[in-house]
Chains A and B, each alone.
Chain A
Amino acid sequence: MRVLVLYCHPNHPASQLNRSLRAAAENVHGVTLHDLYHHYPHGFIDTEQEQELLQAHDVVVLQFPMYWYSTPPLLKAWQDEVLTFGFAYGQNRSLSPRQLLLAVSLGAHPNTYQRDKFAFELHELLRPLEAMSQYCGWEHRGIFSTGYEGNPSSDQLQLDAKRYQTLLEDCVAGKLPPLFSTLNPSC
């Protein structure tokens, strides 16, 4: 399968974790890595080009850091401007349903998002993306989450990168995880 990783990090050089995950993704043959903040530093998205990219891939991976329990602003802008009526939804939509994966990096350990520690679980916080996927008829394959208390060691980073790479390689090979999987390598 053709896999598109939409990488969306406003402060890429400062994120060790996402730099290592991104490098892992770029290692996988058959994955297209598309850096949104690199292409649209001014926030002005080229709708036509983005839609062509979606047409050319089967699996869409949204890779982003979670900021204030949501996506960075450019990813929201991407949804608003690319997933339009007639293209991504509506009776005569031109984009046939896609497979969706979320690769979310967190400012804390994923275990933090459990009922006994915090009011919301991770998948609850990411409901808007789930609803988006549902509305467009896509299949939501789950959440790959990473995060640490404090600075990660290089071993931990390597481990996460390896798992991310394996996940993407599986997707390319057509072995998609079951729907709504929780892919939580650091636990």
Chain B
Amino acid sequence: MLTDALIYLLAAVIAVPLFKRFGLGAVLGYLVAGVVIGPAALKLINDAQSVLHFAEFGVVLLLFLVGLELNPKKLWALRLSIFGTGTVQIIVTAGLVVVVGQLLGIDWRISMVAGIAFAMSSTAIALASLTERNLMSTEGGKAGFSVLLFQDIAVIPAFLVLAAIAPAKGEGALDTLGIVKAVGLIFSFILIGRFLIRPVLRYIANTGLKEVFIAFALLLVLGAAVAAQAVGLSMALGTFLAGVLLADSEYRHELELDIEPFKGLLLGLFFIAVGMSVDLNLFVTQPALVFGIASAVVVGKLLLLLAIARLFKLCGQDAAVFAVALSQIGEFAFVLIATALNQGTLSHPQADLMNAVVAASMLSTPFLFIALTRWVMPRLNRMPTRSTDVIEEKNEIIVAGFGRFGQVVARLLIARGFGVTLIDNNPNQVDFIRKFGFKAYYGDVSRLEVLESAGIENTQLLVLATDDAEATLETAKLVKEKYPKVKILARARGRTDGYALEEINIPFERETFRAAAAAGEKALLMLGESPHQAHRAIQTFIRHDERLLKEGAMHREDVKKLIDLAHKARQDLALLLTRERANAKSDTQQPVDW
């Protein structure tokens, strides 16, 4: 048991940073680590199935956390995309597989099982990949999530269908009773969540014992999962509902923080287990068959999802994100296949082949995401319907990005009489700005040609104000190298961006820092400090913080040092703040002034 844990942790610690470093993503790192330590390769661990069962709890925790982010109101707002897009996706995918099966002369029962199994996507892989790449909040990400949610609900009818088509009719039918139970569960969740859980949470929080609170949080999730399973719903759906019901409780944040590390570790273990359960035998003996079917399924799903995306008015980048996120076959397929095997619908070789196809499809997603972010998204950003504008004017300032940040900078410069060329990579935004008489052009500034046609060589100042931190950094480096005379000013989203910009010596402004400091100043005023003193306190704070940022950037190579520095910074700040506090008190107590 301990050696197993050692192996998992070691594999994760070696593989994940390596894959992250080469831009391949953490999910693929875990999967490959699993393949390597599993029965297929090094044979360090052989019982993949039991680990998989245990690690499935990671997915369950993930759904709980997702639920915590979505209060009932937000969930209600998603109802159309959940039920509309979700239903269409499952029925059309399953239907298509059955039709293809019929054409190939495969028994309809088998193609039916395959159809339902293949229609499912992997919640774990999709959500983890979306989160890893900051795509969860995009329209495509949201639509993807809605469909995943519907797939979890669809588990009940899926089992019904499996039982119905099973050649040997067992006691698998859960008919209306099952549905009544499920509805009953949801209502009891609402009642328990409202009237029981909250007082209990408060009671436990008041004991001040952190580990008991964590234990209770885990108990809550586990309880919801077991209850859901007992009435034939998926565990993930049960905990998701529990999460939604606690989304507006005052302990939401606390629960999130406590569950988060468990989720991360278990989800990693889950991916490792999926990697381990890949039966390389079939891949070696019948590679063409496995990869053929897998790629046919993935490509088929991709095309279908793109069509569905169009149907639900997602376009361009959002459609691509949606399609790629849901393109694999999910872990739930393993369960369905096992059930069908038990019910006698599938034979062992058939089930093995299907499992291999599922695993192969899962491995494809990280690669598809890489292709999406590296090649497809930059191209889609250019928009097929519109080519980069030809920029006629040569102004002394180029402002790239006319969002909430760039527009303030640009308006100020324009008001001071400077000639400003605005470039934005959102065509709608460009059209909108133009309506108000500003000179705005469509283009992607991370491509040097666009900047060159905007006259970068004669520009005094380039303001990089897009919210793509990576692109800002790349463009800054590129321009600095090719046009050293152009001054560059960059927008940093936060401290981390600030470090990166400081390192390559680009002046920058953090987008929220000064606004937050100003809010701090207002707070001091509201607490009765004199305006001038409050202003001085905030200025001191800003100077201190900006100095720390500069020092931190110098030591950034050495990760250990950064950790130390962060620690030191906190102590510095604590010291500074207490000193300021003490000063402020002595000011008001002793009449030192006249």
Contacts and interface: CB of A to CB of B under 8 A. Distances in A.
A18 B594 CA distance: 7
A106 B593 CA distance: 9
Which of B530, B534, B587 is most buried by chain A, counting CB atoms within 10 A of its CB? B530
A105 B594 contact: yes
B588 A13 contact: yes
Given A11-B587, A14-B587, A14-B588, A37 B531 contact: yes
B530 A107 contact: no
Contact of B594 (A15, A38, A39, A41): A15
B592 interface: yes
A143 B310 CA distance: 81
Contacts of B590: 14
Interface string B561-594: 0000000000000000000000000011011111
A106 B530 CA distance: 21
Nearest to A14: B593
Contact of B532 (A37, A105, A151): A37
A12 B535 CA distance: 14
B67 to A, nearest CB: 46
A62 interface: no
Q: Chain A interface secondary structure, helix, strand, loop or mixed?
A: mixed
Contact of A14 (B531, B534, B535, B591): B591
Contacts of B533: 11, 13
A153 to B, nearest CB: 12
Interface string A94-133: 0000000000011100000000000000000000000000
Given A11-B587, A13-B587, A13-B588, A65 B534 contact: no
Contacts of A16: 591
B119 to A, nearest CB: 62
Given A18-B594, A65-B594, A41 B534 contact: yes
Which of B531, B532, B594 is most buried by chain A, counting CB atoms within 10 A of its CB? B594
Interface string B291-307: 00000000000000000
Interface size band for A: 20 to 34
Interface size band for B: 10 to 19
A14 B592 contact: yes
A15 to B, nearest CB: 4
A37 B535 CA distance: 10
Contacts of A39: 531
Contacts of B594: 15, 17-18, 65, 105-107, 147-148
Interface string B520-543: 000000000011111100000000
Contact of B530 (A18, A38, A42, A151): A38
Contact of B593 (A15, A41, A42): A15
A13 B533 CA distance: 10
A41 B592 contact: no
Contacts of A10: 532
A180 to B, nearest CB: 24
Nearest to B539: A42
B591 A41 contact: no
Interface of B: 530-535, 587-588, 590-594
15 contacts: A10-B532, A13-B530, A13-B588, A14-B593, A18-B593, A18-B594, A37-B531, A39-B531, A41-B531, A41-B532, A41-B535, A65-B593, A106-B594, A147-B594, A151-B591
Given A17-B594, A38-B530, A38-B532, 6 more contacts: A13-B587, A14-B591, A37-B531, A39-B531, A41-B532, A41-B535
